[in-house]
Amino acid sequence: MATTIYNNKIITLTDGTKLEAMPLKIKYLREFMDAFQIVKEARNDDEAIGFLVECVRIAMKQYYPRISRTVEDIEENIDLPNIYETLDIAGGIKINSRSEDSVKSQANDSGVTWDTLDLAKLEAEVFLLGIWKDYRELELSLSMPELLATLASKRELDYEEKKFLAAIQGVDLDAENNSNKGQKEWEDMKARVFSGGTTSDSNDVLSLQGVNAQKVGFGIGLGLDYEDARDPSAML
């Protein structure tokens, strides 16, 4: 049985302070993603790393506001390996310091984007639960994994109710929905999010991360891993 929606990581500051990092709440993720887009304009790796440090500064607004005021605060308190760890857990940006690829190209290839995700539509659907007074409160409360898990549960409950009402009328919804294209599109969309944009196919093993992995009992980070062929260390 799945017991977690996402994985947390411990980030250690240079003074030994330990922070618990997790996927950013949507409010901070929006700002994080806007800052990340500037990486595409970087002229070299040093400039790209500088832009990525700004992304980490935004993440610290959620994790540790004391060091979120300036980029210099981040540079003084977090070393480069932990900066890369923070980028990964906060927004799914994967940087391998041992890769032969440039930092800019790795960041651009990480698959992190809003382009294929209709966030407004997803938020509108979950907002109907009536838990939040406005969308700002919703975005302060939920990260993307939490939003998707909530939506999945809501849709399952809605479907079970429809199936019960249909059964009273002698209709088997399960039989009629075996070839339901809309459900496949929903599963593929979840695959894009859970895999950090690596795949849009719900049948792809890369979609088996976090809650998806736990539902089937394995996945990336849960007993099944994969290596980037571009990483020279993977060839050793």
For range 147-155, the mean pLDDT: 89
Residue 14 has what pLDDT?
94
Residue 93 has what pLDDT?
87
Residue 69 has what pLDDT?
94
Q: Are 89 and 9 in contact (CB under 8 A)?
A: yes
CA distance 33 to 22: 16
Other CB atoms within a 10 A radius of the CB of residue 49 amount to 18
Query: Please, what is the average pLDDT of the chain?
Result: 78
What is the per-residue pLDDT across 175-229, written as a single tens digit (0 to 9) for each?
666 555 556 666 666 666 655 555 555 554 445 455 444 444 433 333 334 344 4
Residue 163 has what pLDDT?
81
Residue 228 has what pLDDT?
46
pLDDT for 230 beyond 70: no
| Single-letter residue type at 69 | R
Paired residues of 9 in beta bridges: 21
Residue 191 has what pLDDT?
65
pLDDT for 235 beyond 50: no
Q: Are 221 and 92 in contact (CB under 8 A)?
A: no
Residue 214 has what pLDDT?
46
Paired residues of 21 in beta bridges: 9
Length of the chain equals 236
Residue 182 has what pLDDT?
59
Instruction: Map the chain to HEC letters.
Output: CCCCCCCCEEEECCCCCEEEECCCEHHHHHHHHHHHHHHHHCCCHHHHHHHHHHHHHHHHHHHCHHHCCCHHHHHHHCCHHHHHHHHHHHHCCCCCCCCCCCHHHHHHCCCCCCCCCCHHHHHHHHHCCCCCCCHHHHHHHCEHHHHHHHHHHHHHHHHHHHHHHHHHCCCCHHHHCCCCHHHHHHHHHHHHHHCCCCCCCCCCHHHCEHHHHHHHCCCECCCECCCCCCCHHHHC
pLDDT for 100 beyond 50: yes
Q: Look up tokens 């496949």; give the residue.
A: 184
pLDDT for 111 beyond 50: yes
